[in-house]
């Protein structure tokens, strides 16, 4: 019985790149051994379609069965997933503003939540669930989902100032101050806070902290840097602040984290 799990990242269609970061596949259709996966914040929102069996989720103390079609909002803390039997899922990782720009969704309603997509008020997303009903391969699903999104980008409402704000946060690897951000995009700090809450689902400060934390994984890929180099290059004030941030997002000290371990967390963070 195979224990290998495929982790694959796929580029979106060219016309979708302003809204979709990537598509991803996790598959092991003959897998039966239970694998517990840790999911760590990466600054993106997702819709996820299971063409294998159900997963279970644990955000607090209890495991709960998930639906097969999911909307996952922004998270600011880690949680756990485990398969029940066969593993097969397609995910669409959206740019932070995309679900608001495309469908007018208030992302604050989905912060730290993974919900049944078919039960949400947003009818256009439920249409995707109906369209892929009965499909059992990610190739079929991917074509249908992307064609559906291509239709909706013609009606999108791009949030130009917020896009610029997110671009600046990304360029600075999360180290930009909110006051400076407000000056750069000509909005007040209060306006930025309100717009981020609705369109991203996080405060700009929290979102920046997630991107700063994510940058650690880029630095790890560059070779074998020392912890002191990582602390400095990632813009942390000192090592204690670095350790505190790392433990907040992952639940463990950086010295105990296994950066080379196969799994969803490292697959998503080590792009």
Q: Could you give all domains of the chain from N- to C-terminal order, each with its CATH number?
A: 6-153 (2.60.120.10), 160-269 (1.10.10.60)
pLDDT tens for the chain, residues 1 to 271: 345 888 999 999 999 999 999 999 999 867 668 889 999 999 999 999 999 999 999 998 899 999 999 999 999 999 999 999 889 999 999 999 999 999 999 999 999 999 999 887 776 888 888 899 888 889 999 999 999 999 999 999 999 999 999 999 999 999 999 999 999 999 999 999 999 999 999 999 999 999 999 999 999 887 777 899 999 999 999 999 999 999 999 999 998 998 888 889 999 887 6
| Among candidate residues 262, 226, 258, 224, the one with its CA nearest the CA of residue 242 | 226
Q: Please give the backbone phi and psi of residue 93, each rounded to the nearest 5 degrees, phi first.
A: -95, 110
- Tell me the three state secondary structure of residue 24: strand
| Among candidate residues 184, 257, 249, the one with its CA nearest the CA of residue 40 | 249
Would the CA dihedral through 183, 187, 193, 199 be positive or negative? negative
Sequence length of the chain is 271
| Among candidate residues 76, 20, 83, 34, the one with its CA nearest the CA of residue 57 | 83
CA distance 161 to 173: 18
CB 201 within 8 A of CB 45: yes
Other beta carbons within 10 angstroms of residue 163's beta carbon come to 17
CA distance 94 to 201: 13
CB 209 within 8 A of CB 174: yes
Map 23-88 to HEC letters: EEEEEECCCCCCCEEEECCCCCEEEEEECCCCEEEECCCCCEECCCEEEECCCCCCEEEEECCCEE
Give the model's pLDDT for residue 225: 79
Full-model pTM? 0.93
Q: Output DSSP code: residue 85.
A: S
Helix (H) or strand (E) holding 52: none
């Amino acid at each position: 019985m195979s224990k290998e799990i495929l982790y694959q990242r796929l580029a979106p269609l060219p016309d979708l790149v302003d809204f979709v970061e990537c598509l991803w596949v996790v598959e092991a259709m003959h897998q039966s051994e239970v694998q517990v996966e840790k999911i760590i914040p990466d600054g993106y929102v997702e819709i996820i379609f299971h063409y294998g069996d159900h997963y279970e989720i644990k955000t607090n103390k209890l495991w709960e069965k998930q639906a097969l079609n999911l909307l996952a909002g922004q998270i600011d803390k880690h949680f756990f997933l485990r398969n029940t039997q066969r593993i097969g899922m397609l995910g669409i990782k959206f740019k932070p503003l995309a679900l608001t720009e495309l469908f007018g969704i208030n992302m604050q309603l989905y912060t730290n939540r993974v919900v049944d997509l078919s039960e949400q008020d947003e009818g256009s997303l439920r249409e995707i669930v109906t369209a892929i009903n009965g499909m059992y391969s990610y190739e079929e699903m991917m074509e249908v989902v992307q064609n559906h999104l291509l239709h909706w980008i013609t009606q999108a409402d791009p949030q130009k100032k917020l896009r610029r704000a997110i671009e600046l946060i990304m360029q600075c690897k999360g180290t930009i101050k909110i006051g400076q951000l407000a000056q750069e995009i000509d909005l007040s700090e209060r306006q930025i806070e309100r717009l981020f809450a609705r369109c991203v689902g996080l405060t700009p400060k929290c979102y920046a902290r997630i991107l700063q934390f994510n940058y650690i994984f880029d630095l790890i890929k560059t070779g074998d840097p020392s912890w002191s180099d990582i602390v400095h290059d990632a813009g942390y004030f000192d090592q204690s602040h670095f350790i505190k941030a790392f433990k907040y997002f992952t639940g463990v000290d950086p010295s105990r984290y296994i950066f080379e371990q196969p799994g969803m967390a490292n697959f998503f963070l080590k792009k």
